[in-house]
A and B are shown apart, each in its own frame.
Chain A
Amino acid sequence: MDDLYREQILDHYKNPRQKGQINPSDHSFEDENPLCGDFLHIDLKTDDQGVITDAKFEGHGCAISMASADLLLESLIGKTMDDTKKLSKQDILEMLGIELSPVRLKCALLSLKVTKAAAYDLKEADDDLME
């Protein structure tokens, strides 16, 4: 537990850096995890070369899901859309640096699913995006 709620995660949950909206955005997506009631909407802004210049999220959920979204979006600024499409479950786990049970894994990976769905401009997201 002490590991799960380590300082970095609690800090990003309590003081999110990327919370907000981008209007108009270049890529947006939102989805929920109905089992937990978590909801996440993200907006991405890109330049002509496809480099992400800003990334914001709105949502509600547990500390793991919200901190994961904040950390992920913060790390994406300066990266390209291609980098975003290549993101994997492993990248998120390394970024969070914590061990997660299968149930909590879903919380952590909602941000990955929503971000990749935005990068691919999908209409609907499926769980393959969380791999």
Chain B
Amino acid sequence: MVQKERFEKIKSDFPIFKRKIHTDQKLVYLDSAATSQKPEKMIQAMDDFYRNSNANIHRGIHELAEEATGLYEDARLRIARFLKVEDARQIIFTRNTTESINLVAKAWGSTFLQKNDLILLTRLEHHSNLVPWYMLKEAKDLRISFIEITSSGELDLVQYAALLEQKPKLVAFTHMSNVTGTINPAQMITKMAHDAGAMVLIDGAQSAPHFPVNLTEIDADFFAFSAHKMCGPTGIGVLFGKYALLEQMPAFLGGGDMIRKVTFEGFSANAIPYRFEAGTPSIAEGVGFGAAIDYLESVGMGAIAEHEQELTRYTMKVLGDEKGITIVGPDAEKRGGVVSFSMDGIHPHDVAQILDSDGIAVRAGHHCAMPLHQHLNLPATTRASFYLYNSIDDIDALVRGLAKVRKVFA
């Protein structure tokens, strides 16, 4: 009950909900899988950094520089703790999930993969966990195979087991699909890959924000995610990598901060994690990310997951009862807070446009997963995605909005 009351008040933690859409409409934000809204506490932490602590980090012997470095490095520690990672040196700051995956493809893939080596991906992946591997495939003449999905949008683990017999070098998969909402059994997939001698990269862009993730238990070699989908700022993300692997990898980008020593003849690379953090990083964003983690932990990741599960169950029930609506993906119990659907005879762009006129923000299109939509024989879908600040009222507004869509196109 205490928890229920807490969630009823959460919208007031996010200043954006004070504004109106199209002059007088309340904002019903159902697009958190694209990016989340930002709590006052995170915005304040960044504002406070620029007002009171701003300096460059890892250099400069002055109070501000030391303070800024402390704040930035403290965020790294908090992120490590958030993911149950013991050694915070394994947390590398990047720009976003996409850059994290590219870092692995470039620094690990280009170094350790040879011609004809096999990479396994899944049919659920979005573009950022496809294109870096396609590029690596072309550069190194590799092979890529796909783990298939069942009709309900879950990974086919029997077919996966068969693919593992071909001894892939890497299995890269999404922890949670941004289209079907499917939560993949990350620990089991990782264990199977390791038993077959393959490395594992998990795209955690949709998982880290929405439910507790324990990287020690999952045991993945790499895990990538972004701050902006979890109440943090844009422009900063994380790559987790196991220390022993990171140590063997060459630098990714060259510049300041990633070097130990530079001469006119060459350079020697810095220690982990700095080797992979060339140039002045997004310092205020790092501080904001730390504040976002604090905020999420103050609510509780388990509680957030439960709240989203309740919203998802409710949405699937009410939309499932509507005629002419087809929901993509598995049952509520097997998915996170994402519900993509199609409406008979009405294009998702038209659905989204009419919903927008009532202040309801959803995503329409292929959600950066064009191949998956082709695979499901859908040109596009409309997607409602939830976060801690959503309520049953938001879903009811969506249902009323969809009734209006149907009326316009009747």
Residues on A close to B: CB < 8 A?
A: 1-2, 4-5, 10, 14, 34-39, 60-64, 104, 107
B310 at the interface (CB under 8 A from A): no
Contacts of A37 in B (CB 8 A): 365-366, 373, 378-380
Other A-B contacts than A1-B356, A37-B365, 5 sampled, CB-CB below 8 A, are A10-B409, A14-B409, A36-B349, A60-B347, A61-B347
The residue among B350, B356, B373 with the most chain A CB atoms within 10 A of its own CB is B350
Is the CB–CB distance between A63 and B356 below 8 Å? Answer: no
> Measured between alpha carbons, how far is A61 from B354 in the docked complex, in Å?
16
Mask: chain B, 347-387; 1 = CB below 8 Å from A; 0 = not: 11110011011000000011000100100001110000000
A-B complex: 7 closest residue pairs judged by Cβ atoms: A37-B379, A1-B357, A62-B347, A62-B349, A37-B380, A63-B350, A62-B350
Contacts of B408 in A (CB 8 A): 5, 10
Contacts of B378 in A (CB 8 A): 37
Is the CB–CB distance between A4 and B365 below 8 Å? Answer: no
Contacts of A62 in B (CB 8 A): 347-350
Contacts of B347 in A (CB 8 A): 36, 38, 60-63
Contacts of A63 in B (CB 8 A): 347, 350, 409
Contacts of A2 in B (CB 8 A): 357
Known: A14-B409, A34-B370. A104 touches B365 (CB 8 A): no
Contacts of A60 in B (CB 8 A): 347, 379
Contacts of B349 in A (CB 8 A): 36, 61-62, 64, 104, 107
> Measured between alpha carbons, how far is A4 from B378 in the docked complex, in Å?
25
Total contacts A-B at CB 8 Å: 47
Q: Tell me the nearest residue of chain B to A39, going by C-beta.
A: B379
Contacts of B357 in A (CB 8 A): 1-2
Identify 25 residue pairs between A and B in the complex whose beta-carbon atoms are under 8 Å apart, listed by A's number. Answer: A1-B357, A4-B353, A5-B350, A5-B353, A5-B354, A5-B408, A35-B365, A35-B366, A36-B347, A36-B349, A36-B379, A37-B373, A37-B379, A37-B380, A38-B347, A38-B379, A60-B347, A60-B379, A61-B347, A61-B379, A62-B347, A62-B350, A63-B409, A64-B350, A104-B349
Is the CB–CB distance between A1 and B365 below 8 Å? Answer: no
Contacts of B370 in A (CB 8 A): 34
Is the CB–CB distance between B353 and A104 below 8 Å? Answer: yes
Is the CB–CB distance between B366 and A1 below 8 Å? Answer: no
Is the CB–CB distance between A36 and B365 below 8 Å? Answer: yes
Is the CB–CB distance between A1 and B379 below 8 Å? Answer: no
Q: Tell me the nearest residue of chain A to B346, going by C-beta.
A: A63
- B406: shortest Cβ distance to chain A, in Å? 13
> Measured between alpha carbons, how far is A105 from B353 in the docked complex, in Å?
13
- A105: shortest Cβ distance to chain B, in Å? 12
> Measured between alpha carbons, how far is A85 from B353 in the docked complex, in Å?
31
- A21: shortest Cβ distance to chain B, in Å? 20
Q: Tell me the nearest residue of chain A to B410, going by C-beta.
A: A14
Contacts of B379 in A (CB 8 A): 36-39, 60-61
> Measured between alpha carbons, how far is A91 from B409 in the docked complex, in Å?
26
- B367: shortest Cβ distance to chain A, in Å? 11
- B398: shortest Cβ distance to chain A, in Å? 16
Contacts of A34 in B (CB 8 A): 370
Known: A35-B365, A61-B347. A1 touches B354 (CB 8 A): yes
- A117: shortest Cβ distance to chain B, in Å? 21
Contacts of A14 in B (CB 8 A): 409
Contacts of B373 in A (CB 8 A): 37
> Measured between alpha carbons, how far is A64 from B351 in the docked complex, in Å?
12
Q: Tell me the nearest residue of chain A to B347, going by C-beta.
A: A62
The residue among A4, A14, A36, A61 with the most chain B CB atoms within 10 A of its own CB is A36
Contacts of B354 in A (CB 8 A): 1, 5
- A81: shortest Cβ distance to chain B, in Å? 31
> Measured between alpha carbons, how far is A15 from B408 in the docked complex, in Å?
14
Is the CB–CB distance between A36 and B380 below 8 Å? Answer: yes
Contacts of B380 in A (CB 8 A): 36-37
Mask: chain B, 179-218; 1 = CB below 8 Å from A; 0 = not: 0000000000000000000000000000000000000000
Q: Tell me the nearest residue of chain A to B358, going by C-beta.
A: A1
**Which residues of chain B from 148 to 207 have any CB-CB distance to chain A below 8 Å in the complex?**
none
Q: Tell me the nearest residue of chain A to B356, going by C-beta.
A: A1
Q: Tell me the nearest residue of chain B to A60, going by C-beta.
A: B379
- A106: shortest Cβ distance to chain B, in Å? 10
Mask: chain B, 51-77; 1 = CB below 8 Å from A; 0 = not: 000000000000000000000000000
> Measured between alpha carbons, how far is A2 from B408 in the docked complex, in Å?
9
Contacts of B350 in A (CB 8 A): 5, 62-64
Q: Tell me the nearest residue of chain A to B373, going by C-beta.
A: A37
Mask: chain B, 75-95; 1 = CB below 8 Å from A; 0 = not: 000000000000000000000
Contacts of B356 in A (CB 8 A): 1
Q: Tell me the nearest residue of chain B to A32, going by C-beta.
A: B379
Mask: chain B, 397-410; 1 = CB below 8 Å from A; 0 = not: 00000000000110
